[in-house]
Copies of this chain bind each other. A is one copy, B any other.
């Protein structure tokens, strides 16, 4: 930290350029046994089912409503996209924000019974605060929905809406009942994952981060892009190895994804360069433990 913040240091970075980017699922909050937005989506299917009698016999909704998640998601990305579009679109952005706020205020994690916003990692909250105290601007750069995160990230992480980058659907400006609104359309706008993360960073921030934090193959390109700049750089992958207090799934799951061919090159290259094991098992200069453990939002 001293290298980039002490005036006169050869690697000094002006405050305006101290950009840190964070993945969300599995980096700032728990993504096990399933990503939180998937629970939100399933609850939306249940809430909307009375308006969609056809879902009783139409897959993937029929299986979902019977609680058979495995069959419902057997259709892969296409089935998931169909469920997301059916539950996340048609309303205005303001209406969707309220739906998310209402849900996140009460929905509980299936294993711990805690609010999802309490399933955040205490060391990462401390890291966010530490960076902020040193003049950094923290951004979320997540594969999750941008409008699913914005309603609560400021309260939970101290990250305001304009510092949230995520996946999005298209919206359309129109007058509804004489009021100007943005309507959420059932079309993907941007997939903020893997190679999309550097693209989203450039689009929203227009600066290359000097620090980046992730936990999975989806964060690989963001870390590589961060490392590719000049001067001092810091990249970290969170390791999940504490089955007692959270879930243990870090490297094995990444290895599994690699074996599946999703990211054959990326993580292997990173491991060779020391991005991987070396840093995610290490400690930040500030002395924060980087092993994940669930904490409490503030």
Contact = CB atoms under 8 A, between A and B. Distances in A.
Interface stretch (A61-69, A197-205, A248-256, A275-283): A197-205
Given A160-B16, A179-B228, A221-B180, A204 B206 contact: no
A204 B162 contact: yes
B93 A205 contact: no
A172 to B, nearest CB: 7
A101 to B, nearest CB: 14
A146 interface: yes
Nearest to A269: B175
A206 B161 contact: yes
Contact of A171 (B172, B179, B182, B199): B199
**Identical copies of this chain, number:** 2
Contacts of A154: 16
Interface string A157-178: 0001110100010111111000
A59 interface: no
Contact of A162 (B180, B205, B221): B205
A197 B171 CA distance: 11
A181 B201 CA distance: 12
A207 interface: yes
A225 interface: yes
A150 interface: yes
A241 interface: no
Given A203-B168, A206-B146, A206-B162, A180 B225 contact: yes
Given A146-B206, A168-B203, A205-B161, A181 B228 contact: yes
Contacts of A228: 179-181
Contact of A195 (B147, B172, B202, B205): B172
B161 A227 contact: no
Contacts of A246: none
Q: Which 7 pairs across A and B sit closest by C-beta, in order of nearness?
A: A161-B206, A180-B228, A173-B195, A173-B198, A180-B224, A180-B225, A150-B206
16 contacts: A16-B160, A146-B203, A146-B206, A147-B206, A161-B205, A161-B207, A164-B206, A171-B199, A173-B197, A173-B198, A173-B199, A180-B198, A180-B228, A182-B198, A182-B199, A204-B204
